[in-house]
A and B are shown apart, each in its own frame.
Chain A
Amino acid sequence: MKFLKSHVFWFVVLGIVIFVIDEQTSDPLDTIVVDAALERRVAALWAAQVQREPTEAEIASLVDDWVAEEIWRRESIRLSLDEEDEIIRRRMIQKMQFIAEQEAELTPTEEELRAYFEANQERYEVPSSVSFEQLLFHSRDAATSALSAGELIADLAQPSMQSRVNVRQSPLQVASTFGPGFTRSLNSYDSASNWQGPIQSTFGWHLVKLLEKNSSSVAPFEDIRATVLGDYTYELRMQAQTDFIEQVRPNYDIVRKEE
Chain B
Amino acid sequence: MNLRALTLSSALLLATYVSEVEAQSVDAAGNSAARPTGSPSLQQGLLTIPSDIFSALPEKNATRTAFFGDLHVHTTYSLDAFNVGTMATPYDAYRYALGNTIQHPAGFDMTLRVPLDFYAVTDHAMYMGMLFEGADPSSELARIMNSDYMENFNAPENLVPGRTGGVLGRFVGDARRMIGDGTLSQDVVHDVIHDAWKDTVAAAEQYNKPGEFTTFVAYEYTTFADDRGNLHRNVIFQDADKLPAVPFSSLHSRNPEDLWDWMDGLRDEGIESLAIPHNSNGSNGQMFKLVDWAGNPLDDAYSSQRIRNEPLIEITQIKGTSETHPLLSDNDEWAGFEIMPYRVGSTRPSEPSGSYAREALLNGLSFEDQGMENPFEFGFVGASDTHTAAIGDDESDFYGKLGLADATPQQTGAVPLSAEEGERLLESAPDSVREFEAGVYATGSDITFGASGIAGVWAEENTRESIYNAFRRKETFATTGTRIKVRFFGGYDFTDETLVAPDMLETAYSDGVSMGSDLLPEGDTAPRFIVWATQDALSAPLQRLQVIKGWTVDGEPHEQVFDVACSDDLAVDPQSHRCGDNGAQVNLEDCSISADVGAAELKTVWVDPDFDPSVRAFYYVRVLENPTCRWSTWDAINEGYEPRPDFPATIQERAYTSPIWIRPSTG
Give A contacts to B, CB under 8 Å: 45, 48-51, 86-87, 90-91, 94, 127, 131, 133, 151-152, 154-159, 161-165, 167-168, 170, 172-173, 175-180, 182, 201-203, 211-212
Contacts and interface: CB of A to CB of B under 8 A. Distances in A.
Contacts of B334: none
B420 interface: no
Contacts of B6: 131, 167-168, 211-212
B382 to A, nearest CB: 16
Given A154-B17, A155-B24, A45 B537 contact: no
Interface in B521-551: 532-538
Given A48-B144, A90-B152, A172 B114 contact: yes
Interface in B137-163: 140, 143-144, 148-149, 151-152, 155, 157
Given A161-B601, A202-B537, A176 B152 contact: no
Contacts of B485: 161-162
B601 A91 contact: no
B3 A202 contact: no
B24 A172 contact: no
Contacts of B1: 212
Interface stretch (B7-15, B310-318, B362-370): B7-15
Main secondary structure of the interface of B (DSSP, over half): mixed
A87 B24 contact: no
Contact of B504 (A151, A159, A164, A211): A159
22 contacts: A45-B143, A49-B144, A86-B157, A91-B151, A127-B99, A154-B21, A158-B500, A159-B502, A161-B487, A165-B11, A165-B61, A167-B7, A167-B10, A173-B114, A175-B538, A176-B114, A176-B483, A176-B538, A177-B483, A179-B537, A182-B537, A202-B600
Contacts of A179: 537-538
Contacts of B174: none
A99 to B, nearest CB: 15
A202 B535 contact: yes
Given A161-B534, A173-B114, 13 more contacts: A48-B140, A49-B183, A90-B155, A91-B148, A133-B13, A157-B502, A162-B534, A172-B114, A173-B115, A176-B113, A176-B538, A177-B483, A180-B538
Contacts of A152: 24
Contacts of B185: 51
Contacts of A202: 534-535, 537, 600
Which residue, of A151, A155, A158, has the highest number of chain B Cβ atoms within 10 A? A155
Contacts of A161: 66, 485, 487, 532-534, 601
Given A159-B499, A159-B504, A161-B601, A86 B152 contact: yes
Contact of B143 (A48, A154, A162): A48
B20 interface: yes
Interface string B33-58: 00000000000000000000000000
Contacts of B157: 86
Contacts of B10: 131, 165, 167, 211
